[in-house]
């Protein structure tokens, strides 16, 4: 009888240890550390040709998305959806910044970004830079991107998440691709509240 | 008499006017394949790519493959698959085309299989119609028109599609 209790106890402890190890790996560390791990320093060039760093963003929360202008589907869809959210927010929309960072600096010059973003809400700021600057920003945000060759052309695979950062550049939340309008609005309202 | 004639003419005109929207629900046939609901999306300024979408049905007894096509203003059209896996958008060309099995309908749509219009010269504006073709391995090439919807449009959100669906039901 006591042997059974002992076995069960050990089994429970083993299960707990396995669960905790899995949880640690899954969350990329414990909660506090996870929050710190997204976001960080970067310096890029805006679609107006000006330099912008994470330091310049302090004091105002922001939504940041990585994409490219030759993107046929997710990028325009995401920008249209965010445009809808911005319109719903009305004057509150000004309490946030909306950044669109190119993962394709070879084709996305500041001029190309400015032209492209003219089709969406005026709140968007396009950001590009050298390949190294983009790589640094993407690394800070744990953004994955890769160039895919296509005969004489190429396209980009990339993360399709909108990162929501508070006024101190601290990670707050993400909006996944395909999120419902209500989810986008609620998360952005909450972000505005944090600022 | 004239009054009756005038009325019936008016009625005919009204009926004709009602039929106009259904003209958009064009279906194109090549061999045993039917292409319905072909559409694309308006392109943002400076964009060089667009997606072509449609519902393709194979009414025959043999499988065929969608291997390409063409579109106004596009330098090249390829068959692609897009998927968001683990929050990463991935695109790939279907080098061997997309199989349409007998008796099946395959839908090309945003976030999935699509015709990739590449090297766009100029842009597509909402409400326009883009002339193009789609090509199948066995059935060959057929001319189609792609109706241009809003940037980021999703099929099910648009009233015109509801109309097309109604039209389809009526046909059955």
pLDDT in tens, A3-61: 788 888 888 888 887 777 776 666 555 444 445 589 999 999 999 999 999 999 999 99
Segment A147-165 mean pLDDT = 92
CB-closest option in A69, A119, A161 to B87: A161
CA distance A94 to A87: 11
Nearest chain A residue to B50 by CA: give it.
A72
Whether residues A177 and B89 touch (CB distance < 8 A) is answered with: yes
User: A92-96, B22-26, B151-155: which range is least confident on average?
Assistant: B22-26
Q: With contacts defined as CB-CB under 8 Å, which chain A residues touch B92?
A: 148
Predicted pLDDT at B164: 36
Contact (CB, 8 A) for B65 and B96: yes
3-state SS, residue A149: strand
Whether residues B46 and A116 touch (CB distance < 8 A) is answered with: yes
Q: With contacts defined as CB-CB under 8 Å, which chain B residues touch A158?
A: 88-89
Tell me what percent of the residues of chain B surpass a pLDDT of 90. Answer: 73
Q: Report the run of H or E that residue B165 belongs to, with start and end.
A: helix B159-171
CA distance B93 to B116: 9
Segment A165-183 mean pLDDT = 94
Give the burial class of A185: count Cβ atoms within 10 A of its Cβ; 0-12 exposed, 13-18 middle, 19 or more buried.
Answer: middle
Q: With contacts defined as CB-CB under 8 Å, which chain A residues touch B118?
A: 153
Among B42, B52, B80, B91, the strongest candidate for a mutation testing the A interface, having the largest count of A CBs within 10 A, is B91
Cα dihedral sign, B137-B139-B143-B146: negative
Give the burial class of B160: count Cβ atoms within 10 A of its Cβ; 0-12 exposed, 13-18 middle, 19 or more buried.
Answer: middle
Structure tokens at B118: 């590449």
Give the pTM. 0.78
Structure tokens at A70: 């030759």
Comparison of pLDDT for B120 and B14, the residue scoring more? B120
Whether residues A155 and B44 touch (CB distance < 8 A) is answered with: no
Largest CA distance in chain B: 71
Q: With contacts defined as CB-CB under 8 Å, which chain B residues touch A69?
A: 44, 46-48
Give the burial class of B113: count Cβ atoms within 10 A of its Cβ; 0-12 exposed, 13-18 middle, 19 or more buried.
Answer: buried
Segment B91-119 mean pLDDT = 96
CB-closest option in A116, A157, A178 to B44: A116
Residue with tokens 């492209």, as numbered in its chain: A116
Whether residues B151 and A80 touch (CB distance < 8 A) is answered with: yes
Q: Would the pLDDT of B165 be above 60?
A: no
Give the burial class of A49: count Cβ atoms within 10 A of its Cβ; 0-12 exposed, 13-18 middle, 19 or more buried.
Answer: exposed
Segment A125-136 mean pLDDT = 97
CA distance A102 to A107: 9
Q: With contacts defined as CB-CB under 8 Å, which chain A residues touch B44?
A: 69, 76, 79, 116-117, 119-120
Largest CA distance in chain A: 77
The CB density around residue B12, as the number of other CB atoms within 10 Å, is 10
* Mean pLDDT of chain B, nearest integer: 84
Among B43, B71, B79, B88, the strongest candidate for a mutation testing the A interface, having the largest count of A CBs within 10 A, is B88
Nearest chain A residue to B112 by CA: give it.
A73
Q: Would the pLDDT of A96 be above 80?
A: yes
3-state SS, residue A11: helix
Predicted pLDDT at A24: 65
Across A145-177, b (16+ Cβ under 10 Å) vs e yields: beeeebeebebbbbbbbbbbbbbebebbbebeb
Sequence-distant (≥ 6) Cβ neighbours of residue A151 within 8 angstroms = none
* Mean pLDDT of chain A, nearest integer: 90
Q: Does the interface ipTM go beyond 0.90?
A: no
CA distance A148 to A144: 13
CA distance B31 to B34: 8
CA distance B147 to B23: 12
Q: How many CA atoms lie within 13 A of A160 on its CB side?
A: 27
Among A68, A73, A176, A179, the strongest candidate for a mutation testing the B interface, having the largest count of B CBs within 10 A, is A73
Q: With contacts defined as CB-CB under 8 Å, which chain B residues touch A157?
A: 88-91
Among B39, B40, B47, B80, the strongest candidate for a mutation testing the A interface, having the largest count of A CBs within 10 A, is B47
Predicted pLDDT at A10: 85
Please count the residue pairs, one from chain A and one from chain B, whose beta carbons lie less than 8 angstroms apart: 89
Contact (CB, 8 A) for A184 and A175: yes
CA distance A128 to A44: 6
- Which of B45, B80, B122 has the alpha carbon at shortest distance from A151? B80
Q: With contacts defined as CB-CB under 8 Å, which chain A residues touch B156?
A: none
CA distance A43 to A11: 51
Predicted pLDDT at B17: 52
- The DSSP bridge pattern shows strands B64-71 and B50-58 to be unpaired
Where are any strands of DSSP class E within B9-128? 27-30, 33-41, 50-58, 64-71, 76-85, 88-93, 98-100, 105-108, 113-118
Q: Would the pLDDT of A126 be above 90?
A: yes
CB-closest option in A69, A81, A178 to B47: A69
């Amino acid at each position: 009888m006591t042997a059974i209790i002992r076995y069960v106890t050990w089994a429970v402890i083993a299960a707990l240890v396995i669960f905790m190890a899995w949880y640690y790996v899954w969350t990329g560390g414990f909660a506090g550390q996870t929050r710190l791990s997204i976001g960080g320093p970067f310096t890029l060039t805006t679609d107006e040709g000006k330099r912008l760093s994470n330091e310049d963003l302090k004091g105002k929360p922001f939504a940041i998305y990585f994409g490219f202008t030759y993107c046929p589907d997710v990028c325009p869809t995401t920008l249209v959806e965010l445009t809808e959210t911005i319109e719903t927010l009305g004057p509150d929309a000004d309490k946030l910044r909306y950044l669109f960072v190119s993962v394709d600096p070879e084709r996305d010059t500041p001029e190309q970004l400015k032209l492209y973003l003219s089709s969406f809400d005026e709140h968007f700021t396009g950001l590009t830079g050298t390949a190294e600057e983009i790589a640094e920003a993407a690394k800070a945000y744990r953004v994955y991107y890769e160039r895919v060759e296509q005969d004489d052309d190429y396209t980009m695979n990339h993360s399709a998440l909108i990162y929501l950062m508070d006024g101190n550049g601290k990670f707050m939340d993400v909006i996944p691709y395909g999120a419902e309008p209500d989810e986008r609005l609620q998360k952005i309202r909450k972000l505005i509240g944090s600022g | 008499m004239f009054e009756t004639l005038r009325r019936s003419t008016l009625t005919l005109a009204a009926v004709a006017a009602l039929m106009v929207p259904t003209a958009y629900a064009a279906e194109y046939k090549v061999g045993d394949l039917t292409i319905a609901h072909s559409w694309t999306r308006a392109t943002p300024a400076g964009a060089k790519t667009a997606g072509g979408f449609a519902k393709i049905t194979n009414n025959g007894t043999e499988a065929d493959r969608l291997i390409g096509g063409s579109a106004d203003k596009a330098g090249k059209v390829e068959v692609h698959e897009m998927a968001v896996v683990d929050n990463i958008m991935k695109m790939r060309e279907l080098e061997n085309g997309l199989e349409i099995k007998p008796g099946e309908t395959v839908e090309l749509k945003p976030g999935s299989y699509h015709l990739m219009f590449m090297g766009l010269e100029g842009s597509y504006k909402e409400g326009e119609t883009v002339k193009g073709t789609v090509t199948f391995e066995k059935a060959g090439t057929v001319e189609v028109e792609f109706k241009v919807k809003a940037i980021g449009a999703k099929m099910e959100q648009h009233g015109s599609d509801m109309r097309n669906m109604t039209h389809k039901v009526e046909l059955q």
